[in-house]
Amino acid sequence: MLLRIFFNFSLLFFNLSLLAQQSYIDYRSPFHPTVSKSGMVVSQNIDSSNIGIEILDMGGNAIDAAVAVGFSLAITLPRAGNLGGGGFLLVYIKDKDEIVSIDYRGASSLNADLFKIFQKKLPEQFNEIDRDLVRYGYQASTTPGTVAGLLEAHKLYGRLPLKDILAPVVKQAREGILVSYDLHNAIKSAPQLLEDPESKRIYFIDGEALKINSLMTRPDLAKTISLIMDQGLKGFYAGEVGNLISKAMKNNKGFIDLNDLSNYRPNIQKPISTKYRGNTVFTQGPPSGGGVVLLTALNVLEPFNMNGFKENSSATYHLLAEALRKGHHARSRYVGDPGFFDVPINDLINKKDAQEYARQIEFNKATPASEVKPLEVIQESKDTTHYSIIDEEGNAVSNTYTLGYSFGSGVTIPGTGILMNNQMNNFAFQYGDQTEISRSSSPGNRFIPGKRPMSTMNPVIVKNKENNISIVTGSPGGSFIPAAALRVITGIIDFNLDVGQATMLPRIHKDWPYAGLEYESTLSSDIVSVLERLGHQPESSKTLGSTQSISIIDGINYGYADLRRPNAGVAIQAD
Predicted local distance difference test score (pLDDT) of residue 394: 98
Please enumerate, as own/partner, the contacts of 226-234 that have beta carbons within 8 Å and a separation of 24 or more. 226/166, 226/170, 228/147, 228/151, 228/162, 228/166, 229/162, 229/163, 229/166, 229/167, 229/170, 230/163, 232/151, 232/162, 233/147, 233/148, 233/151
Give the residues of the chain that fall short of pLDDT 50.
2-3, 5-7, 9, 11-14, 16, 18, 370-378
pTM, full prediction: 0.93
Average model confidence (pLDDT) across the chain:
91
Predicted local distance difference test score (pLDDT) of residue 431: 77
Predicted local distance difference test score (pLDDT) of residue 22: 53
Query: Could you list the active site residues?
Result: 384
CB 397 within 8 A of CB 62: yes
Predicted local distance difference test score (pLDDT) of residue 11: 47
Predicted local distance difference test score (pLDDT) of residue 2: 47
Q: What is the DSSP letter of 121?
A: -
- CATH superfamily membership of 41-176+217-278+371-572: Gamma-glutamyltranspeptidase, small (S) subunit (3.60.20.40)
* CA dist., res. 514 & res. 531, Å (int): 15
* CA dist., res. 138 & res. 247, Å (int): 12
* CA dist., res. 392 & res. 422, Å (int): 37
For residue 235, what are the contacts with CB-CB under 8 A and spacing of at least 6?
224, 227, 228, 229, 241
Q: Parse the chain into domains and list their residue ranges.
A: 41-176+217-278+371-572
Q: Nearest-5° angle of CA 426, CA 400, CA 232?
A: 100
Within 403-490, strands assigned E span: 412-413, 418-419, 460-463, 469-473
Predicted local distance difference test score (pLDDT) of residue 3: 46
Predicted local distance difference test score (pLDDT) of residue 378: 47
Predicted local distance difference test score (pLDDT) of residue 123: 58
CB 505 within 8 A of CB 491: yes
CB 463 within 8 A of CB 373: no
